[in-house]
Copies of this chain bind each other. A is one copy, B any other.
Amino acid sequence: MAKFEHIKEHIYKKIESGEWPEYHPVSSENALANQFKVSRMTARRALQELSDEGLVTRTRGSGTFVAPLKSQSALLTIRNIADEIRTRQHRHHAVVKVMEQVPAYPALATALHVPVESLVWHSVIVHFENGQAVQVEDRFVNPRLVPNYGHQDFSVHTPHEYLCEVTPLTEASHQIEAVHPDDRLADLLELETPEPCLQIQRRTWCRDGVVSQAILTHPGSKFRLGGHMTFRSTRKSKGEKS
């Protein structure tokens, strides 16, 4: 492994383990150069690449710091429903309908990478925007990675927020489809007449494995998913902010 990669590895572990939290200062180029017995340019490269990858932020004259976790997913973010509602200046509240431990049926066990019939957390939460139901969140959580999931108050923070805090999320996969809601969903969403629903299945990973699988169902008339992406370079150099 190249020297600059060793240095990256070293810093990466500090961040991943939580030893260096958000905004914690990272050793300077010169400090790393001395510590690892390399030239400043080599230490610099390690920090520069970590900066490119979004793990640290660098400001000239000041130093290098662990980047805030927020700015994670730049592109088609399936955002926290609560945030989304609040940025629309609307009221959000959530009702926890189910919170239990259930044995994992085979498909679920595969999805979460846990033994079949082992207990997993299961929650059903309905999210309201200005009093109208806009999302049913049906979620299964790996208890090995998040043992205290069942003892949180999800009318305050959303499960997504809690999981982001407890486990540093590294990956997510989504499947989106249009479905006809069954009776249970129609009831939870308080739909008078059944209407097409947008259903998002999301699985999230942290470094240690699959954290959670969620099925988010939105009534088609009250929800739209948006995303923006840029394909090619914006011709900006690394340093520039925007």
Residues of A within 8 A of B (CB): 2, 4-5, 8-9, 12, 49-50, 52-55, 72-73, 75-76, 168-180, 195-199, 218, 220, 223-233, 235, 237-238
Contact = CB atoms under 8 A, between A and B. Distances in A.
A223 B168 contact: no
Contacts of A73: 229, 231
B237 A8 contact: yes
Nearest to A71: B231
Number of copies: 2
A175 B235 contact: no
B179 A225 contact: no
Contact of A197 (B174, B196, B229, B233): B196
A12 B236 CA distance: 11
A197 B73 CA distance: 27
A26 B176 CA distance: 40
Given A49-B238, A176-B176, A224-B177, A229 B198 contact: no
A198 to B, nearest CB: 4
A220 B196 contact: yes
A72 B230 CA distance: 9
Nearest to A77: B229
A198 B178 contact: yes
A238 to B, nearest CB: 6
A30 to B, nearest CB: 20
12 contacts: A8-B235, A12-B233, A73-B229, A170-B231, A171-B229, A173-B228, A176-B224, A177-B198, A177-B224, A178-B220, A196-B196, A196-B197
Contacts of A199: 178
A50 B223 CA distance: 38
A227 B54 contact: no
A228 B172 contact: yes
